[in-house]
Amino acid sequence: MESFCLGNRKIGPGYEPLVIPEIGINHEGDFKKAIRMIEAAKDAGAEIVKFQYHIADKEMVPNNIIPKNADESIWDIIERCQLTDEEERKLKQYCEELGLMYLSTPFSREAADRLEDMGVIGFKIGSGECNNIPLIEHISKKKKPIILSTGMNGIDSVKNSVEIIKKHQCPYMLMQCTSMYPTPYEKVRLGAMKELAEVCGAAVGLSDHSVGLYTVFGAVALGASAIEKHFTFDKNWSGPDISISIDPAELADLIKGAKAIFKARDGIKTVLSEEKPVIDFAYATLCAIRDIKKGEVLTEKNVWVKRPGTGEIPAKDLNLFLGKKAKEDISKNHQLTRSLICE
């Protein structure tokens, strides 16, 4: 899998997973709420925050479609939750003042152009736009890094979008995603990350809509290079994505856990030099379990294996010495050596 860079942050199998708290539209159009969530993400240890850049009349026509996780139409939600261009610019500036990367998902070419004019380091393309070839082409022409979510799309559809991105030589990575709110655990499909990586040769991650942190920790263990979760300052706030969002304490736990799992997930089965102190007391070696006279035959009644592992003959070699005779008297609990046993 190829590594991927977002700003100065390297992302890929050899690097700690990037945890992306998605503020999205959880601010519900309230600029002060957005600021509060940026600060909370920073305090929790985040490197980045992600928003959604909406211009309602540029991305959709007025409609009465009500999402399952809401009680009002998607048009009303977006129109109410969109921020002004000035507010979006202030959010980006504030993120950077705090040392955070700012990322946003454009839902129209006008939004993509405004983000480009703001000088963003890259683009996040949401699952709903994964097969929106005209928009992907428009964004790819800007030659900025792209993180592409793949919910609601099969592998062939993803491959078509990747070809557009590659044609314009944009660095990219892919996010396995299931567009269900919330996503049942059995629908998360962590195994799809491997398929995306193998088919598209890209770094992969998980954009997760399930409840809690179980699946994202599992994704890190399976090699995810990035993790995205909806984020809110307070789960008592209203909003269509609040029910699947994590709060600051969970974000801090996710960041800490992702780092720990990353450190733990690789390696081969071998004995480490650092295990030697434990080997000294934990291994077993051959030992007399009663007094043995010179010339006496060694059997399981007078020889067995006991700790510590500081003796000469390891437990695995017991059968090699049974039936042989003692060269001299051996006292009970004495660790056997080859020099005490007749060949």
Tokens at residue 224, please?
């995810």
CATH class of 273-340: alpha beta
Contact 30, 81 (CB under 8 A): no
Distance of CA 90 to the CA centre of its chain: 29
Confidence of residue 292 (pLDDT cuts 50, 70, 90): very high
Q: What is the pLDDT of residues 174-196, one digit of tens each?
A: 999 999 999 999 999 999 999 99
Q: What pLDDT, on the 0 to 100 scale, is given for residue 239?
A: 82
Domain positions in the chain: 14-264, 273-340
Tokens at residue 290, please?
């009663």
Q: What is the pLDDT of residues 88-108, one digit of tens each?
A: 999 999 999 999 999 999 999
Contact 117, 2 (CB under 8 A): no
CATH code of 14-264, in short, is: 3.20.20.70
Which residues fall within 8 angstroms of residue 329, CB to CB, at 6 or more apart? 291, 292, 293, 294
Distance CA 25, CA 238 (A): 11
Arithmetic mean of pLDDT, 158-176 = 97
Query: Does the structure show a pLDDT above 90 at 240?
Result: no
Query: Does the structure show a pLDDT above 80 at 69?
Result: no
Q: What pLDDT, on the 0 to 100 scale, is given for residue 134?
A: 98
Q: What is the DSSP letter of 274?
A: G
The better pLDDT of the pair 134, 67 is held by 134
Q: Euclidean distance between the first and final Cα of the chain, in Å? A: 57
Distance CA 251, CA 191 (A): 24
Q: What is the DSSP letter of 269?
A: S
